[in-house]
Copies of this chain bind each other. A is one copy, B any other.
Amino acid sequence: MSVGDAAAKERKILVAVDEGDESMYALTWCLTNVISPNSKDTLILLHAQAPRAAYTALDGTGYLFSTDIMSTMDKYHNDAADRLIETAKNMCKDHVNDVKVETRVESGDPRDVICEMVQKLGVDVLVMGSHGYGWFKRAFLGSVSNHCAQNVKCPVLIVKKPKSNNLGK
């Protein structure tokens, strides 16, 4: 691929979004700094949901969760994912009127989901927060951004939320 072709073609920019402020900051930064108003870019908002296995183990008391609890938790996770994607979509509309936005919610380890989607969709730029996927999941999964930066083949933009923005929250 000639580098010079990159500006002329319609770029696919994938933004990994999660429940943390940092990924939403990364999305806003991308909308302000990467997407130009008259570009033909497609913005793909990807949310990787925790796989069911992440919350189907024994509860704190040593008992297995009941089927009712499981389906309630499934619904909670799906609703949360929908709300998250909707919020991200609205942020895109607020910042850039004519950008083409696609959304995807996939189940699995965010590290694998992001890398797979980047390859499958032929993404040109991956944008993500520096921590990715909140402190809770990160404690189990390690740094998602670090993993993706090492494994995807396209350029990766890692956006860190300035500390001043975290104050008072």
**Contact residues of A between 130 and 169, Cβ < 8 Å to B:** 130, 145-146, 149-150, 152-160, 162-165
Query: Which B-chain residue is minimally distant from A27 (CB atoms)?
Result: B3
Task: Count the copies.
Answer: 2
Given A156-B158, A162-B1, A36-B33 contact (CB < 8 Å)? no
- A-to-B contact residues, CB < 8 Å: 1, 3-4, 6-7, 11, 25-26, 28-29, 32-34, 36, 125, 130, 145-146, 149-150, 152-160, 162-165
The CA of A155 and the CA of B156, in the complex, are separated in Å by 10
Given A3-B28, A3-B29, A32-B7, A158-B160 contact (CB < 8 Å)? no
Tell me whether chain A's interface is mostly helix, strand or loop, or mixed. Answer: mixed
Given A157-B156, A164-B1, A36-B34 contact (CB < 8 Å)? no
Given A7-B33, A32-B3, A36-B36, A149-B158 contact (CB < 8 Å)? yes
| Residues of chain B with a CB closer than 8 A to A32's CB | 3-4, 6-7
The CA of A130 and the CA of B76, in the complex, are separated in Å by 38
- 10 tightest Cβ-Cβ pairs between the two chains A and B: A155-B159, A3-B28, A157-B157, A156-B158, A6-B32, A7-B32, A149-B158, A6-B33, A3-B32, A3-B29
